[in-house]
Amino acid sequence: MSLIELKNLTLGYDKDIILKHINMSIDENDFICIVGPNGSGKSTLVKGILGLIKPIKGKVIYNGLKQNFIGYMPQETKVDSSFPASVYEIVLSGTLNSNEYKLFYTKKQKEEADKNLKILGIENLKNKCFCDLSGGQRQKVLLARSLCATSKLLILDEPSNNLDSKSKADLYKTINDLNKNYGITIIMITHDLDHDNLIGNKILSLRENDIFFGSVDEFVRRIHND
Amino acid sequence: MINDILEMFSYTFMTRAFIVGLLISLCASLIGVSLVLRRNSMIGDGLSHVGFGAFAIASIIGIAPLEFAIPIVIVVSFLILRLNDSSKIHGDSMIALISASSLAIGTFAISVTGVNTDINNYLFGSILSISDKDVIISVVLSIVVILLYLLSYNKIFAITFDENFAKSIGINTNFYNIIFASLCSIVVVLGMRLMGSLLISSLILFPTLSSMQIFKKFKSVVISSVVISIISFIIGLLISYFNATPTGATIVIVNLVVFIIFKLISIIVLKRK
């Protein structure tokens, strides 16, 4: 079943059009990797889906999913190395989409945060300061936060940036696990097009005047034909 | 000692200064945490200079300074937010520009019209200048600041930590930024009577910076900042009363001493670099 449909979507900032006439459907349980050179509009597309920028033309249709219940992991959260915030405070803030003006987090929100810390295997970091964590641990904390915001769809903007290869492999394994075992649909922007370990079942490739959307197999065949 | 302190409160101007100062210290430390962490410290400083200009103009045209200055400063704070988002002039330079211009306009206006006002009072504060009406305005506005802060505490954390994510889960970040800029303006203008426009920003920054030397959770930093701010204010006020030193400057020096102590604890006891 389709979760999100993009209909003739045109996106950009002010008068600069970055992406034109995008039509695609994101189905439940999909794991879509978005690839393409810098400036090809990968982040713009994701922001359009999240409603952070308004479409110039066309529309995004959400089926059984509210826009603010998508778990988003922005590219490189610029956090000061001295920012005082515990892992628990950060993960809990992901549940704020279901909270109106309440002074304290509800029991349900706390359980949600605990559950997601456990899924990602970082319960032991709960009371640590974000500033004392390694790059890989930080990404898992931010992943846990976005997981708190959704039960259906995660959108990850280059989650493995600046990670060493071991943390990278570990993070990809976790994301794959969320898709396969927890039934979470994933859209991930990535630079890692290492053909041996392509993850995901579909690829969206953005190049100027050449937009491809299809299965991983089709994509590989296409590259070989080029 | 107790008797001396009781005697101090027999002066109405000291009681007024105590009430206003306590509330301002509390509010300033709350606002300070987000300002420092979002690297917007200079906004507090800029707004206090705008406040100076507004006070000077208010005294010349003969309107009540607080009622005139608060809306002016709120409007300028929106402008700074706007310009930060869209302008080609870098945020810091923009604030420096607004600061200097307001100081110049204020000083110019005072000298041209020859109003007999002591510029010192505006620049460095004066506890004698706090009127009964100021006390009422301060109490009401401080309660508003504290309530709004408590009600939106979790969202303030989310926005301070990661504005993009906050936006994606449906938090109206523009609305909160506007609320926050207004709260900041109110605190700066109210605090200027006591601390002066040159010193008020230190009341916003010091407690947070001291707390960050030791605490590593957002909530601990907020609570510690409030405690530090209130204690430093009380100690500063007492010292200035008994030694006839300028109140604003004394409070800032107490805050500086607290900062140095916390820094030393973090280096020597907690072994942080």
Q: Residue A74: its chain B contacts at CB < 8 A?
A: 162, 164-165, 168
Q: Return the number of CB contacts < 8 Å for A and B.
A: 85
pLDDT digits 0-9 by tens, A34-58: 988 888 889 899 999 998 888 998 9
Quote the CA–CA distance of A3 and B201 in Å, as a whole number. Answer: 50
As a whole number, mean pLDDT of residues A56-66 equals 89
Nearest CA in chain B to A156: B165
Nearest CA in chain B to A47: B168
Contact A101 B152 (CB under 8 A): yes
Highest mean pLDDT among A202-211, B77-86, B241-250: B241-250
B218 and chain A: CB distance < 8 Å anywhere?
yes
Residue A26 DSSP SS3:
strand
pLDDT value at residue B147: 92
Element (H, E) at A210: strand A210-215
pLDDT digits 0-9 by tens, B204-225: 999 999 999 999 999 999 999 9
Distance of CA B246 to the CA centre of its chain: 18
As a whole number, mean pLDDT of residues B72-88 equals 80
Which strands sit side by side in the sheet containing A210-215, from one edge to the other? A71-73, A153-157, A185-189, A31-35, A202-207, A210-215
- The pTM assigned to this predicted structure is 0.89
Which strands sit side by side in the sheet containing A57-62, from one edge to the other? A16-27, A2-13, A57-62
| Closest chain A C-alpha to B258 CA, distance in angstroms | 19
Q: Residue B213: phi, psi to the nearest 5?
A: -70, -30
Q: Parallel, antiparallel, or unpaired for β A210-215 and A2-13? A: unpaired
Confidence of residue B107 (pLDDT cuts 50, 70, 90): confident
Look up residue A193 and give its amino acid.
Answer: L
Q: Residue B219: its chain A contacts at CB < 8 A?
A: 89
Rounded (10°) angle between helices B218-243 and B2-10: 80
B43 has a pLDDT exceeding 80: yes
pLDDT value at residue A77: 66
Q: Residue A102: its chain B contacts at CB < 8 A?
A: 154
Nearest CA in chain B to A86: B217
Q: Parallel, antiparallel, or unpaired for β A153-157 and A16-27? A: unpaired
Selected for mutation to probe chain A from B162, B225, B270 (highest A CB count within 10 Å) is B162
- Scanning B149-188 for CB atoms below 8 A from A yields 150-155, 157-158, 161-162, 164-171
pLDDT digits 0-9 by tens, A93-144: 999 987 666 778 889 999 999 999 999 999 999 999 999 998 889 999 999 9
As a whole number, mean pLDDT of residues B256-263 equals 97
Q: Which of B37, B168, B171 sits opposite A83 (nearest CB)?
A: B37
A89 and chain B: CB distance < 8 Å anywhere?
yes
Q: Residue B263: its chain A contacts at CB < 8 A?
A: none
A165 has a pLDDT exceeding 60: yes
Interface confidence, given as ipTM, is 0.90
pLDDT value at residue B85: 66
User: Which residues have a Cβ under 8 Å from the Cβ of A37 and sit 6 or more positions away?
Assistant: A207
Confidence of residue B115 (pLDDT cuts 50, 70, 90): low
B65 has a pLDDT exceeding 70: yes
Quote the CA–CA distance of B265 and B270 in Å, as a whole number. Answer: 7
A19 has a pLDDT exceeding 90: no
A169 has a pLDDT exceeding 90: no
pLDDT value at residue A211: 85
Least reliable range by pLDDT among B44-48, B113-117, B135-139: B113-117
pLDDT value at residue B67: 87
B87 has a pLDDT exceeding 70: no
Q: Which of B37, B169, B217 sits opposite A96 (nearest CB)?
A: B169
Q: Residue B221: its chain A contacts at CB < 8 A?
A: 84
A74 and chain B: CB distance < 8 Å anywhere?
yes
Q: Which fold has domain B19-264?
A: ABC transporter involved in vitamin B12 uptake, BtuC (1.10.3470)
Q: Residue B166: its chain A contacts at CB < 8 A?
A: 93, 96
Confidence of residue B185 (pLDDT cuts 50, 70, 90): very high
Confidence of residue A146 (pLDDT cuts 50, 70, 90): very high
A199 has a pLDDT exceeding 60: yes
Confidence of residue B166 (pLDDT cuts 50, 70, 90): very high
Higher pLDDT pick, B126 / A70? A70
Q: Which fold has domain A1-70+152-226?
A: Rossmann fold (3.40.50)
Tell me the domain boundaries of chain A.
1-70+152-226, 85-149
* Average pLDDT in chain A: 87
pLDDT value at residue A140: 92
Contact A93 B161 (CB under 8 A): yes
Confidence of residue A75 (pLDDT cuts 50, 70, 90): confident
User: Which residues have a Cβ under 8 Å from the Cβ of B42 and sit 6 or more positions away?
Assistant: B91, B92, B95, B96
pLDDT digits 0-9 by tens, B1-24: 788 888 888 888 899 999 999 999
Q: Residue A157: its chain B contacts at CB < 8 A?
A: none
A195 has a pLDDT exceeding 60: no
pLDDT value at residue B116: 59
User: Which residues have a Cβ under 8 Å from the Cβ of B91 and sit 6 or more positions away?
Assistant: B42, B80, B83, B84
